[in-house]
């Protein structure tokens, strides 16, 4: 548990416009978190009932995956109405109750803003597809043929199909969709679309949300040669930032591309406050938590040297789009712990994906697509549908939910939940982890990652082993270790000795 002094310092850091640099966020799939009315579907009242659990874990902010009405062809990333609540999750009154309850606990709320495309059932698309002369005829991207010379991109990966163009018989034209055919891309070259989507942002900010996670925001505009963060999209993001800046203490985080997100920060104060560090979080994309060397992590951290002043990395090891951290660690809990530690000791703002703190195992059933393997219901207890619902869950629980649940892990001091609580408590109120300088240390053994974190007040040395065997190595520069404050390792001069899968933090100031 954090000390009262840590809590007081954290409260101070979380006040004012830089709050987001000092927060720990938690990504929630409302549908799978907690069901309040027995219909088997998680909802906003259910989530409100779990806020004290999240507070106790050390969470300061919640990112809600889409909560708006949807035909659910892409789990809510296909929005049919941007100013309403998905009736499966409750209504606007339930949202207001949730927001007030979060704010009462000094927790912030980010809403998922999905602006690149709408659901095909959205009234705008229904109008647009009806004829070439309808009121919203030009709100989407149309072509007489299944291609257009000014749009040089196809679909976004194999999940989403073969072609980015689908024929709409009523209009006799093809529409562009970067993702599923049920997700037509909006036409941002139409000023009405720009004005309307900025107004949607304003609507939610006026309601009191603390900001946004912006879905595939780099893909808004297309050109013949590029479809990610072209200059027109940069201009739009600056307009969106200006809307946020007209409200006090708001922040937004970009779902950037898979490379370095550096371009999403602009000058450091005119585009995104935060961007996800996928080169770290999704490193290797597959099962790189099981890597034997530090190389990919080293490179991802080194990439952040190019960030402009003011940029804040958003670190993560999992999300709704990739396999569970447990799976990516090949079921080796020490590997997941190592990946989580590095993400929380790096410079940045950590995001925890729901269930990650339990080491949640994957599911085996899918309703929408195979990403559902990482979107199974949160198991709160061992018996009775794991406390998720009194009815039949909308999708099966993941594997091993009898052992991997909050109730069981609460009782086990060696559980993943105990580990996450300890890790978050360790960081709490120490701004050095959020914003202190990070310096990588070259060690003559690529199985060892070492870096320092330094602020005016504090200085730490972090060492992490990538090996399941004991390791040692010699740093190429002098080490200033100080006292061992977490984990287990030995430092003698420049020599670092770590036990199997070991890690340690030393404090010298």
**Which residues carry out catalysis?**
215, 255
CB of 220 to Ca ion, least distance (A): 5
Q: How far apart are CA 379 and CA 376, in angstroms?
A: 9
| Shortest CB 457 distance to Ca ion, Å | 45
Where b means 16+ CB within 10 Å and e means fewer, 5-42 reads ebeebbeebbeeebbbbbbbbbbbbbbbbbbbeeebbb
C-beta closer to Ca ion: residue 98 or 283: 98
Q: Please state the closest distance from residue 170 (CB atom) to Ca ion, in A.
A: 22
In sequence order, the β-bridge partners of residue 64 are 28, 111
Binding-site string for Ca ion from residue 59 to residue 98, where x marks contact by CB under 5 A and - marks none: ----------------------------------------
* DSSP codes of every residue in 390-404: SS--SS---TTTTTS
Contact segment (CB under 5 A) with Ca ion among 60-68, 115-123, 156-164, 318-326 equals 115-123
Q: For the CB of residue 202, give the shortest distance to Ca ion in the complex, in Å.
A: 21
Q: How far is the CB of 116 from Ca ion (least distance, A)?
A: 5
When the beta carbons of 281 and 393 are compared against Ca ion, the nearer one is 393
Q: Which is nearer to Ca ion, 74 or 185 (CB)?
A: 185
Spatial distance between the Cα atoms of 236 and 229, rounded to a whole number of angstroms: 10
| CB nearer Ca ion, residue 184 or residue 281 | 184
Q: Minimal distance in Å, beta carbon 72 to Ca ion?
A: 14
- The nearer residue to Ca ion, 216 or 253, going by C-beta atoms, is 216
45 lies in the binding site for Ca ion (CB under 5 A): no
- Quick one: tokens of 477? 């520069």
- Region near Ca ion per CB under 5 A, out of 30-38, 294-302, 306-314, 434-442: 30-38
**Which SS3 state, helix, strand or coil, does residue 70 take?**
coil
Residue 326 phi, psi dihedral angles, 5° rounding: -55, -40
CB-nearer residue toward Ca ion: 183 or 405: 183
| Sheet with strand 459-465: strands edge to edge | 437-441, 448-454, 459-465, 503-507, 483-487
Cα gap 344→57, rounded to integer Å: 14
If the CB atoms of residues 45 and 341 are measured against Ca ion, the closer one turns out to be 45
For residue 154, the minimal CB distance to Ca ion (Å) is 12
- Which residue from 319, 317, 331, 320 is spatially nearest to 399, judged by alpha carbons? 331
Q: Where are the alpha helices (DSSP H) in 191-251?
A: 191-207, 231-245
Buried b (16+ CB within 10 A) or exposed e, 303-341: bbeebeeebbbbbbbbbbebbbbbbbbebebebbbbbbb
What number of chain residues touch Ca ion (CB under 5 A)? 8
Residues 398-417, mask of contacts with Ca ion (x by CB under 5 A):
--------------------
Nearer to Ca ion, 43 or 255 (CB): 43
- Gap between the Cα atoms of 229 and 479, Å rounded: 41
Minimum Å distance from CB 178 to Ca ion?
Answer: 6
Site string for Ca ion, 190-229 (x = CB under 5 A): -----------------------------x----------
Task: Point out which span in 108-116, 162-170, 206-214, 230-238 binds Ca ion (CB under 5 A).
Answer: 108-116
Is 43 near Ca ion (CB under 5 A)?
yes
In the bound complex, what is the minimum distance in angstroms from residue 277's beta carbon to Ca ion? 23
Which of the ranges 183-191, 210-218, 300-308, 444-452 carries the binding residues for Ca ion, by CB under 5 A? Answer: 183-191
Based on the shown chain and the rule CB under 5 A, indicate whether residue 35 belongs to the binding site for Ca ion.
yes
Task: Tell me the longest C-alpha to C-alpha distance in the chain.
Answer: 76
Helix (H, G, I), strand (E, B) or coil at 168: strand
Binding range to Ca ion, per CB under 5 A, among 40-48, 68-76, 198-206, 295-303: 40-48
Question: What is the token pair recorded at 13?
Answer: 């850091």
Q: Which stretch of DSSP H or E encloses residue 498?
A: strand 495-498
User: Which of residues 3, 12, 15, 37 is near Ca ion by CB under 5 A?
Assistant: 37
Q: Where are the alpha helices (DSSP H) in 247-394?
A: 278-281, 295-303, 325-328, 333-345
| Residue 216 or 496 having the CB closest to Ca ion | 216
Distance between CA 398 and CA 379 in Å, rounded?
9
Q: Are 133 and 205 in contact (CB under 8 A)?
A: no
Among 10, 28, 34, 41, binds Ca ion (CB under 5 A): 41
Name the residue among 251, 249, 273 with its Cα closest to residue 261: 273
Q: Give the range of 179-187, 200-208, 210-218, 337-345 binding Ca ion by CB under 5 A.
A: 179-187
Q: How many Å apart are CA 507 and CA 491, to the nearest integer?
A: 12
Give the CA distances from residue 63 to residues 108, 113, 358, 366, in Å, rounded to whole numbers and listed in that order: 9, 11, 18, 23
| Interface residues toward Ca ion, by CB under 5 A | 35, 37, 39, 41, 43, 116, 185, 219
């Amino acid at each position: 548990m954090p000390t009262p002094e840590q809590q007081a310092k954290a409260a101070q850091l979380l006040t004012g416009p830089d709050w987001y640099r000092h927060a720990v966020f938690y990504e929630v799939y409302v549908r799978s978190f907690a069901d309040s009315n027995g219909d088997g579907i998680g909802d906003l009242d259910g989530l409100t009932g779990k806020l004290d659990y999240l507070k106790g874990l050390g969470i300061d902010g919640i990112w809600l995956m889409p909560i708006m009405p949807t035909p659910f062809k892409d789990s809510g990333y296909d929005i049919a109405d941007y100013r309403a609540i998905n009736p499966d999750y409750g209504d606007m009154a339930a949202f207001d109750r949730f927001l007030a309850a979060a704010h009462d606990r000094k927790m912030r709320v980010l809403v998922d803003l999905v602006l690149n495309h709408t659901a095909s059932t959205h009234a705008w698309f229904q109008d647009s597809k009806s004829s070439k002369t309808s009121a919203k005829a030009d709100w989407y991207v149309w072509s007489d043929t299944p291609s257009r010379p000014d749009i040089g991109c196809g679909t976004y990966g194999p999940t989403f199909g073969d072609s980015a163009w689908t024929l709409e018989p009523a209009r006799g034209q093809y529409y562009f969709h970067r993702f599923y055919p049920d997700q037509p891309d909006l036409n941002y070259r139409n000023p009405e679309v720009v004005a309307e989507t900025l107004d949607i942002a304003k609507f939610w900010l006026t309601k009191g949300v603390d900001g946004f996670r912006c879905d595939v925001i780099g893909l808004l505009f297309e050109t013949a040669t590029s479809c990610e963060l072209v200059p027109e999209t940069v201009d739009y993001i600056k307009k969106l930032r200006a809307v946020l800046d007209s409200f006090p203490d708001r922040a937004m985080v970009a779902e950037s591309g898979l490379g370095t997100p550096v371009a999403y920060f602009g000058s450091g104060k005119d585009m995104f406050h935060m961007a996800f560090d996928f080169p770290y979080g999704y490193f290797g994309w597959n099962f790189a938590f099981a890597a034997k060397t530090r190389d990919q992590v080293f490179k991802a951290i080194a990439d952040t040297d190019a960030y402009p002043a003011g940029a804040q990395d958003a670190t993560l090891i999992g999300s709704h789009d990739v396999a569970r951290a447990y799976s990516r660690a090949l079921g080796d809990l020490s590997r997941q712990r190592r990946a989580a530690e590095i993400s929380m000791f790096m410079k940045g703002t950590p995001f925890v994906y729901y269930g990650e703190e339990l080491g949640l195992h994957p599911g085996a059933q899918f309703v929408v697509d195979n990403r559902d393997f990482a979107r199974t219901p949160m198991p709160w207890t061992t018996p009775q549908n794991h406390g998720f619902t009194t009815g039949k869950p909308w999708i099966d629980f993941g594997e091993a939910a009898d052992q991997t649940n909050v109730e069981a892990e609460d009782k086990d001091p060696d559980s993943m939940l105990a580990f996450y609580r300890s890790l978050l408590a360790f960081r709490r109120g120490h701004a050095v982890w959020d914003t202190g300088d990070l310096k990588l240390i070259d060690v003559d053994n690529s199985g060892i990652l070492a870096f320092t974190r330094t602020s005016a007040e504090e200085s730490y040395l972090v060492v992490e082993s990538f090996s399941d065997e004991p390791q040692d190595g010699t740093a190429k520069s002098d080490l200033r270790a100080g006292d061992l404050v977490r984990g287990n390792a030995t430092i003698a001069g420049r020599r670092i000795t770590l036990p199997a899968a070991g890690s340690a933090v030393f404090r010298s100031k």
